Amino acid sequence: MTQTMTNTQAIGSPISNEAYNVLSALQAKLEGMEAYRKFAQSDSNQQLWQKLTELDNQAVAMLAQQVESMAQSGKLRPGQPGQTASR
């Protein structure tokens, strides 16, 4: 049983939950902005898509700054898979 526990604990993300959350949020914002670009090309509600793009640009800047800060402090360095404690 100890062998199984050891193997199971080695499965998972090698980065902290905090880092994963920030990177996931950044990816989601960037994907959303790409969708806005496509929507603006295909319908007449361009003002809506432009305004949403402007708002998401602010969020992307904040998230990118957080990623940069985490990288400089070493929080993006991989640890052992399965460890979820923040560093």
**Cα three-residue angle 42-44-48, rounded to 5 degrees:** 100
Q: With contact defined as beta carbons under 8 Å apart, do 70 and 22 qualify?
A: yes
pLDDT at 87: 43
Lookup: tokens for 69:
């800060």
In a domain? residue 71: yes
Residue range of the domain that includes 67: 26-75
pTM, whole model, 2 decimals? 0.74
In a domain? residue 30: yes
In a domain? residue 80: no
Evaluate if residue 40 carries a pLDDT over 80: yes
In a domain? residue 82: no
Confidence of residue 58 (pLDDT cuts 50, 70, 90): very high
Question: What is the SS3 assignment for 63?
Answer: helix
